Structure 1
Amino acid sequence: MFGASLSTSQERAPGAAQIDLLPVGEWLLLRMPAGRHVRVTALDEVQVVALWAYDATNLERRVSMTHSQALIRKVFLEPGDLLVASDHGAILRVFADISHGRHDSSIPACSPALSRRSGPLRDPPSCTARLSATLSRFGVEQLDAPQPWNLFMTTSVAPNGSYATREPACCAGDYVELRAEIDCLVLLSSCAHGMSRTGHDRGGESSALVMTFIPHGG
């Protein structure tokens, strides 16, 4: 399932600092020991990267965006905030966010059913399919993808309760940096379906840069 080229979907294990290009329609599985950092940088202003994280020792424990928001009592996470499992145990921490800081956590991962409502299916697999295929390698069957944290995707809620997807507020070079609080698996999926951004399908133009590292003195 994972290729060897930096331009294809792949798996990355811990070690020295590693840098990967994550084009639209591709994904990365990162094995993150506690204390390791991952930085996701937008190389343009439109690409959304869906993020999930699982406890490496118990894949039934995963980041829950609703529990994370309940813990911090905010819709949008800021540096210092924790991404926690349903038992409120920490999995990741937001270490830095050099962007608009309002990453969506309400739009579900794209799936064939969701994509059919917005137009013809495209060749790249959905983010839901990527997550399911990845977890199946570990003997985990997950029919429904949990809510991802949609990096670089902007949504807003109107006073009447309706919400809308806005043009992204980030700029090329903006990044989000996370610290692993426990040994975990992090899946990053660069969404290939237009409805996950702003309804404007820009094909394969977009990409993100992913760097994993241990900070100096860490």
Structure 2
Amino acid sequence: MARSAHAMAPPDAAARRGAQAVVVYASENLPPFDAAFYEAARSGLTKVSELIVPPRDARAFSVPAGHFLRIVSIEGSQVGDLNLWNQHDLSERFFSGKTRALHATHVSTGDRLWSSLPNLRPMATITHDTLDWYGWDEDGGGVHDVIGTRCDPYTNVLLKGTEYHHCCHSNLTRALAAERNMPLAQAEPHVHDVLNVFMCTGFTRDTHQYFMKASPVRPGDFIEFFAEIDLLGALSACPGGDCSSGHSDDAARCYPLKVEIYRPRDDVLACWRSPPRNAYSRNHGIV
């Protein structure tokens, strides 16, 4: 919403607003994206598994370290909400906030998905994105955002006063619970802020509110990740469909998504190793 100023602007207001913007994290200090390695690893891939995520539902899956994960549009324009965990330790999970701070509000080829503290290491690297041509549109929107949280039943009750049980939060909770054979109440705290795959979003220029618009994804488009560690993932096919109008209801037309897992040639990974936990946690014995 638009904010009304209640305080009178001081004489130096213009000077204060004119302070120089400084990028917080120097991305050039991150480990470089080794395009040659990932391209070599992508050649000669063997598909080892695939699954279909039904509309308005979610499925969990495992991706061994050194394998590739693809999320594929197969029938119509559809966005998905992605959660990632360390396969062996659910407390290490995708950290969307730090990923946003280290890269940008939207991610694409060459960006990494970073894990939560105290680990703070790459969980996955984006190695191919058929929508990387989109860039930034006239509204400031981009694709694959790490700014939205996930649609959830709690916010739905808060804003609409109605309950809806196929929100992405609920879908991801059920998928994790089924995968790990745990009660829903035990699974829910592990569900976290997502990578909004294929979703086109941004902030309005006037009020800086989060917006969404019709996704540019079409059947055959995909985003691909290299698993840097053993991953457990869960993907929800959002009830918003292409998110051109709304979500958290049954009004939007929705489509399934496909998850594919690929194994590279053994010789390509001969000298590759999973990244260790962050040096700070290792140096100070933090567990």
Q: What TM-score bracket applies, with the shorter chain setting the length?
A: 0.7 to 0.9
Does 1:127 find its partner at 2:157?
A: no
Deviation at 1:197, TM superposition (A): 5.3
Q: CA RMSD in A?
A: 2.7
**1:108 equivalent in structure 2:** 149
Identify the structure with the greater helix proportion: 2
Q: 1:162 is aligned with what amino acid? A: Q
Identify the structure with the greater strand proportion: 1
Q: What secondary structure does 1:17 align onto? A: strand
Q: How many residues align?
A: 201
**1:82 equivalent in structure 2:** 112
When residues 79 and 151 of structure 1 are mapped into structure 2, their CA distance, relative to the original with a 3 A threshold, is: same
**1:180 equivalent in structure 2:** 227
**2:199 equivalent in structure 1:** 153
Give the unaligned 5+ runs of structure 1: 1-14
Does 1:207 find its partner at 2:256?
A: yes
Q: 1:207 is aligned with what amino acid? A: P
Partners of 1:78 and 1:192 in 2: CA distance? 23
Of the three residues 211, 215, 219, the one matched with 1:164 is: 211
When residues 163 and 111 of structure 1 are mapped into structure 2, their CA distance, relative to the original with a 3 A threshold, is: closer
**2:130 equivalent in structure 1:** 98
TM-score (norm 1): 0.79
Of the three residues 66, 71, 79, the one matched with 1:35 is: 66
Identity %, equivalent residues: 24
Q: What secondary structure does 1:114 align onto? A: helix
Q: What secondary structure does 2:98 align onto? A: helix
**2:57 equivalent in structure 1:** 26
Higher alpha-carbon Rg: 2
TM-score (norm 2): 0.62
When residues 92 and 162 of structure 1 are mapped into structure 2, their CA distance, relative to the original with a 3 A threshold, is: same
Contact in 2 for aligned 1:46/1:197 (Cα 8 Å)? no
